[in-house]
A and B are shown apart, each in its own frame.
Chain A
Amino acid sequence: AQSVTQLDSQVPVFEEAPVELRCNYSSSVSVYLFWYVQYPNQGLQLLLKYLSGSTLVESINGFEAEFNKSQTSFHLRKPSVHISDTAEYFCAVTPDSGGYNKLIFGAGTRLAVHP
């Protein structure tokens, strides 16, 4: 079985400051890792994913995440946040074999960007 722990339920930050949202996972098998974002009153949107290969993955809007197998972490970072990044961010995992589209989500981190 897999589990995901998002270490911060809320992260307040000022605009243009860097931010890191932390995610740790537990699994006895290899996994795929994802970050999804949910804006108010909307569904979730994929931000980025790690399947294999380079441990650093990037999104089109400046976020990046690094897969660290030894620390079982997949932290999300952005060097300079904007007001529009205010949303809830979810880390998720699925087994790399047989998991199909069953994602195990963390509890979420609410990012609040202040002017």
Chain B
Amino acid sequence: KAGVTQTPRYLIKTRGQQVTLSCSPISGHRSVSWYQQTPGQGLQFLFEYFSETQRNKGNFPGRFSGRQFSNSRSEMNVSTLELGDSALYLCASSDAGLGAGELFFGEGSRLTVL
């Protein structure tokens, strides 16, 4: 089985721009979560989608949004980029609908905002 695939792996943007990151979960997994990883704040939960519905959201401003498609692939979007948005964005998929299962993480998309 292929693992969780995130694209692009690296990208550089400037302040004010927007960015879209993509995540393809493991086949059969219906849950996709997104996390932001920074040296200062560590790993922070952004949101989780299950069967195209957002069922959990972290404490991030509305500039951070996401969606999930019928094939379980997910995208997250960050608008009006700020320097502080520079981070590794990790996507994780799971086949456990109620949680407590294993999260399978992708290698991440490293965003640099200049």
* A107 CB–B CB distance under 8 Å: yes
Closest to A50 in B: B100
CB proximity to A under 8 Å, residues B65-104: 90, 92, 94, 96-103
What residues on A are CB-neighbors of B101 within 8 Å?
A: 101
- Contact in complex: A44, B99 (CB < 8 Å): no
* A104 CB–B CB distance under 8 Å: yes
CB distance from B110 to the nearest CB of A (A): 9
Given A101-B94, A108-B42, answer yes or no on A94-B102 (Cβ-Cβ < 8 Å).
Answer: no
Q: Could you tell me how many residues of chain B have their Cβ less than 8 Å away from some Cβ of chain A? A: 28
CB distance from B51 to the nearest CB of A (A): 12
Given A43-B107, A49-B102, answer yes or no on A100-B31 (Cβ-Cβ < 8 Å).
Answer: yes
Closest to A106 in B: B42
CB distance from B8 to the nearest CB of A (A): 15
Closest to B96 in A: A101
* A57 CB–B CB distance under 8 Å: no
What residues on A are CB-neighbors of B90 within 8 Å?
A: 43-44
Bound-state Cα–Cα, A43 to B33, Å: 13
Spell out B's residues near A (CB within 8 Å): 4, 31, 33, 35, 42-45, 48, 50, 55-56, 58, 90, 92, 94, 96-103, 105-108
